[in-house]
Amino acid sequence: MRRIAHTQTEAAWVWITPPTYDEDRASAFPPFQQGQSAFRNADVVAIGYYVRAQPETVVDIQAVFGSSAVPELQGPDGVHPSLAGQKAIARAFVESLTP
């Protein structure tokens, strides 16, 4: 996608780091238990290092959410952002993309 966007458009590429999780809440969430899903901050933090190394603009959501997600920024499942988390993401985008 990045190569296609670069060669076929004049669009500016913006990277976003994935938010961290509330691992305890995620491991206790029944649907994740039933599906044998596991969420580890170590995994998304590693992705964050890769994303922050890119030459284009980076919006660092991990810096907003913290190394272990701030509880009020995560929804009941501990993985998906709450309304407060969505607002924090939007604020980070605006602050990162405006002078």
pLDDT in tens, 29-51: 999 999 998 888 999 999 999 99
Q: Output the six-digit token pair for 23.
A: 């691992």
Q: What is the pLDDT of residue 67?
A: 83
- Residue holding tokens 């961290």? 20
Domains of the chain: 14-97 (3.40.50.1110)
Q: Output the six-digit token pair for 31.
A: 């649907």
The alpha-helical segments, DSSP class H, found in 9-82 are 23-28, 30-34, 41-52, 61-65
Q: Output the six-digit token pair for 67.
A: 């190394």
89 pLDDT more than 90: yes
Which amino acid does the sequence have at 3? Answer: R
